[in-house]
Structure 1
Amino acid sequence: MGLSIATAGLWVERWERQQERYAVDREERFTVIADVVEHVTAGQDRPLVVDLGCGPGSLAVRLARRLPNAEVVAVDADPLLLELGRTHHGRAARYVRATIGGAGWVEALGLRRPLDAAASTTALHYLPEDALRRVYRQLAAVLRPGGVLVNADHLFQDCAGLSELATRVGRRRAERQCVFDQEDWESWWAGVAEEPEFADLLAERRQVMRDLGEGKDNGLSYSRHVALLRGAGFSHAGPVWQFGDSCVLVALR
């Protein structure tokens, strides 16, 4: 039995508020991603875009609103978050369950033509460097010439002192916006655990998380990301927007 529309809507709304605690500039980052994808796909009758690590569809739905003629494919390994997205934002994207970087994940997307764009927000930092290198190569292989990869995340500076300052700048902005009054990650998941409609999905999710292991930040600087992207076959890569340690990194195929 699937989730009710009302339950999905309630928990997606709580997800949106919870995520603002960790990225006060989240909506601006979404807008920048959409700006980039819109520019690169201008003139395309039906752009093909993949949302990597889509969660409950936050980025996918914003891309679909900006690009109503686009075909958006949203991929994630988390069965609960995927079902939230499928139920609440079902018209925004075609949702695919696959582990990014895992065996057969690109084939699972069911792509029948080259991608125009791949986008991600606060997801790829969980991939170890070797897996990320592989994913970048795989994306370069399925993107059309002139296509783009857009990765929005908290990225480190090479210099520890600058990285500390960038993090501090971001935190001070968050404090001014009072986002730390919002529900946090642990509280959101604790609430999910008490929702009867989620029982089967939570059991499935626990198995998935056991198989994947505990995700940890790979700690890569944005310049290391750039080096990996260039090595994977992207012609140019660099940041197009940044505030504190929050960055939108773009790579051109």
Structure 2
Amino acid sequence: MGVGTALAETWVRRWERQQERYAVDREERFTVIADVVEWVTRGQPAPLVVDLGSGPGSLARRIAARLPRARILAVDVDPLLLELGRTHAPEAARYVEVLIGEDGWLAELELELDGPVDAVVSTTALHYPEPGRLREIYRELAAVLRPGGVLVNGDHLAPADPGLAVLSAAVGRAREQRQGTGGGEDWARWWAEVRQVPEFAELLAARELRPAPASGDGNGLSVREHEELLREAGFREVGTVWRCGDSCVLVALR
């Protein structure tokens, strides 16, 4: 029993609403990431963009709409989310199932089919690997990015100083209250409802067999610690280009 276009569209739409519970500024953050990619790839006839932890292609679709000339790889470990993206927006990206950071993961992307990488983007995925493995992931990404290429990470990353971390979290909560977030379907409810859909049974069974990223809040690294790991990995310039509360867009130039 396959996943039809209408079914995929319904569940992608529900995914988008569910994710907005956890990032009121999600759309603005996506826009800033696309701004960075557009600037860094200006003049490139067909830039190659790799979206790590793509889910059903939320960011990939937005970058494809902004940069129709771009070639995008959407990378995720979850076969259900990838199939939703592949069915809902097959033209937006080439969808690849692999766990970021597992042995040989970059080879699975078959980057030689597409050429040098111009940009790597990610949202709320790179806070999972433990610090030592994340350093290696950053090194691997630095090695495949062209000189002048960019890594763009949109995530909730706290400042290193404890007082500022508390303050940034408070600012973020205040903004959420002003925006009126918190209603509707949450992560647990979305997945509970997904498990009731017969067309998803085979994909859910495959999902159970895949290695999963670490659960919980992740590695707990501050934005400064991410910056240090990126510099150690060989990126020449690192810093944030946008922040609201503890939500930020961190950029590393190769």
Q: Distance in 1 between matches of 2:193 and 2:8?
A: 13
Instruction: Give the number of aligned pairs.
Output: 251
Q: Is the 8 A contact 2:99 2:213 kept in 1?
A: no
Residue of structure 2 equivalent to 1:223: 224
**Structure 1: which 5+ runs fail to align?**
none
User: What amino acid does structure 2 have at the position aligned with 1:196?
Assistant: P
Report if aligned partners of 2:142, 2:234 keep a CA contact under 8 Å in 1.
yes
After TM superposition, give the deviation of residue 212 of structure 1 in Å: 3.1
Structure 1 residues 213 and 76: alpha-carbon distance in aligned structure 2, compared to 1, 3 A threshold: closer
The residue aligned with 2:117 is 115
Name the structure 1 match of 2:7: 7
Match of 1:197 in 2: 199
In the TM superposition, what are the counterparts of 1:74-113 in structure 2 within 5 Å?
74-112=74-112, 113=115
For 1:200-215, list aligned pairs within 5 A: 200-208=202-210, 211-212=211-212, 214-215=214-215
Aligned-pair CA distance for 1:214 = 4.2
Q: Is the 8 A contact 1:76 1:99 kept in 2?
A: yes
State the 1:156 CA deviation: 1.4
Task: Provide Cα deviations, 1:151-173, integer angstroms capped at 9, x if missing partner.
Answer: 00000111222111111111111
Question: TM-score under structure 1 normalisation?
Answer: 0.97
Matched to 2:224, the amino acid is S
C-alpha separation in 1, matches of 2:10 and 2:192? 15
Q: Does 1:243 align with 2:240?
A: no
Output the CA distance in 2 between the equivalents of 1:19 and 1:213. 18
RMSD over aligned Cα, in angstroms? 1.0
Q: What residue is the counterpart of 2:148 in the other structure?
A: 146
The within-5 A match list for 1:153-168 is 153-168=155-170
**Map of 1:180-191 to 2, 5 A cutoff?**
180-191=182-193
- C-alpha displacement at 1:213, in angstroms? 6.1
1:218 maps to a residue whose letter is N
Structure 1 distance, partners of 2:229, 2:4, is 42
Match in the other structure for 2:137: 135
Deviation of 1:215 (Å): 2.3
Residues 104-151 of structure 1: per-residue CA shift (max 9 Å, x gap): 111111112210000001111111111111110000000000000000
The 1-side partners of 2:206 and 2:28 are apart by 33
* Residue 63 (structure 1) shift: 0.6
1:41 aligns with 2:41: yes
Percent identity reads 63
Unaligned runs of 5+ in 2: none
| Alpha-carbon distance, 1:103 to partner | 1.1
**Contact 1:20 1:182 (8 Å CA) reproduced:** no
Higher deviation after alignment, 229-238 or 170-179: 170-179
Matched letter for residue 203 of structure 1: A
How far does residue 37 in structure 1 lie from its aligned partner after superposition? 0.2
User: How far apart are the structure 1 equivalents of 2:184 and 2:244?
Assistant: 21
Deviations 1:43-79 (A, max 9, x none): 0010000000000000000010111011001100011
Question: Aligned equivalents of 2:5 and 2:213: distance in 1?
Answer: 31
Separation in structure 1 between the aligned mates of residue 92 and residue 2 of structure 2, nearest angstrom: 18
Does structure 2 conserve the Cα–Cα contact (< 8 Å) formed by 1:149 and 1:250? yes
1:234 counterpart = 2:223: no
Give TM-score, length-normalised by structure 2: 0.96
